[in-house]
Chain A
């Protein structure tokens, strides 16, 4: 059984039909990880005992001929910003180098209840702050499609592992594009659901009004299956939505004929690489070819999304990261005379440069005399961004754009220029600010073979349409 091409659906049927066992899949996955991870660096921690115990449970069910749960035996990885009981969780930071969480993230618990096998934890930018995975305290991740390039970020390990065949699917988190942009760079599917669709309980907080959990997969169908397993109200997260959860697999399979798709001109302007534009436009033409109606729309405040994001995300981060003080968990500096010294030294010694930069920016934006000028101003512009989408969604059922302005860039290329790095998220941040769902689906390759992603954005709680359009792109991409 080739673990590098399995999907969720094919894993379950292979186990049910006794073509393989969950234990065998775990063994071959770890074999692959141990051979390739030293170079790719996608995994930070492996939890082999936990994986093997779960695999054995699934094999026992299969042996008895019992019906298998939807994710039976599916080898998965979890971005290291989601806590896992008894399994080290670092958030890519030195400050949590030896943190062993006492509970499980709701999304992870739901995956395991549905039969998934958690192999381990994925490398990422420190506290999910970055667009290239170069901000991890545990070293950069390499893009399996071209090892001199970044996998994108911040869920770089999650995207790289799926692309390299080290896991059938993984979880990532998306605050400004951190699922969709690495999915685009690594040539996999990455889904960010509506804000509140999947509980954030157990997700280490970066920016609470922007943080989302979502899957990275080899197919749109797999994203649909995982969304259904993880979605739904959780009393442990006060922003978790009480909204009905449809059968996304069924919804995804509906044709796009007659669907009105918006193409916003602001997403096709300056800075978009010609090869990316050509691939996205060719996909849009194919969607039109199968009966979708293409409608030009305008999202006039698009250029203000990145500056709005960097005020709100950093302000929230500065508050959320205040908890890392060396007292209750995490790194503590050993050379401190007083409590105040200990706070400072611990944070100074264990936070990386980008995290410090964002804490400083956010603290500045919230500080006395600047709150109205930055934070309040940004929240007002956020309302304008939401109005742009409300207006567009009066006319269309979904919006299609490039996921990122470029294909994967070289490791080190933007590492010294924070502003240039922030612009890698130019097409993804707005959906986080507005709370709408978005997906990145592979839509072509550059002449040098690098993957290109197409993004589909939908209305609040309408992941069904987003998945349906992505499925059409995926289907009609086949030669």
Chain B
């Protein structure tokens, strides 16, 4: 196995996931088999192949996606933006404390 419990714990931490013990065990197995499958990409020599940056506009049609004018426009009113908040007060989203004592 190339993926260890430690790898899964590290990546879960990066991804802001906790995962149960059962989920972690399953994740080790699944990631391992999917990454082994992905490894077949190494059969290809891509040393001189540029990475894809944009799928369209690569055929001399760079005018296809021009930037829009940088002009101010109204944004969502506070009241609307807060409507879906699990907790809010005045113009702010409420969250549990950020710094522990």
A356 in the interface, Cβ–Cβ < 8 Å?
yes
Please report the C-alpha to C-alpha distance between residue A377 and residue B86 in the assembled complex, in whole angstroms. Answer: 40
Please report the C-alpha to C-alpha distance between residue A303 and residue B40 in the assembled complex, in whole angstroms. Answer: 9
Please report the C-alpha to C-alpha distance between residue A382 and residue B20 in the assembled complex, in whole angstroms. Answer: 35
B interface, size bucket = 35 or more
A347-B27 in contact given A339-B95, A386-B52, A419-B34 (Cβ < 8 Å): no
Smallest distance from the beta carbon of B72 to chain A beta carbons, Å? Answer: 14
A residues in contact with B17, CB < 8 Å: 344, 347-348, 351, 356, 359-360
Closest A residue, CB atoms, query B15: A363
Smallest distance from the beta carbon of B90 to chain A beta carbons, Å? Answer: 15
Contact, CB under 8 Å: B34 / A238: no
What is the predominant secondary structure among interface residues of chain A facing chain B? helix
B16 in the interface, Cβ–Cβ < 8 Å?
yes
Smallest distance from the beta carbon of B4 to chain A beta carbons, Å? Answer: 12
Contact, CB under 8 Å: A348 / B7: no
Smallest distance from the beta carbon of A474 to chain B beta carbons, Å? Answer: 28
Please report the C-alpha to C-alpha distance between residue A341 and residue B87 in the assembled complex, in whole angstroms. Answer: 16
Given A328-B81, A332-B86, A342-B96; 6 other pairs, CB 8 A cutoff: A195-B55, A304-B40, A337-B100, A360-B11, A363-B11, A434-B55
B residues in contact with A379, CB < 8 Å: 51-53
A383 in the interface, Cβ–Cβ < 8 Å?
yes
Most A C-beta atoms less than 10 A away, residue of B7, B26, B51, B55: B55
A interface, size bucket = 35 or more
A residues in contact with B86, CB < 8 Å: 326-327, 329-332
B49 in the interface, Cβ–Cβ < 8 Å?
yes
Please report the C-alpha to C-alpha distance between residue A306 and residue B40 in the assembled complex, in whole angstroms. Answer: 10
Enumerate A343-365 residues with CB–CB distance to B below 8 Å: 343-345, 347-348, 351, 353, 356-357, 359-361, 363-364
A435 in the interface, Cβ–Cβ < 8 Å?
yes
Closest A residue, CB atoms, query B77: A102
Contact, CB under 8 Å: A341 / B31: no
A6 in the interface, Cβ–Cβ < 8 Å?
no
* Cβ contacts B48-76/A at 8 Å (1 or 0 each): 01111111101101011111100000001
Please report the C-alpha to C-alpha distance between residue A435 and residue B59 in the assembled complex, in whole angstroms. Answer: 12
Please report the C-alpha to C-alpha distance between residue A418 and residue B36 in the assembled complex, in whole angstroms. Answer: 13
Offer 11 A-B interface pairs, CB within 8 angstroms, sorted by A: A196-B65, A241-B64, A325-B16, A332-B87, A338-B98, A357-B30, A367-B10, A380-B46, A383-B49, A384-B44, A384-B46
Smallest distance from the beta carbon of A455 to chain B beta carbons, Å? Answer: 18
Closest A residue, CB atoms, query B40: A307
B residues in contact with A383, CB < 8 Å: 49-52
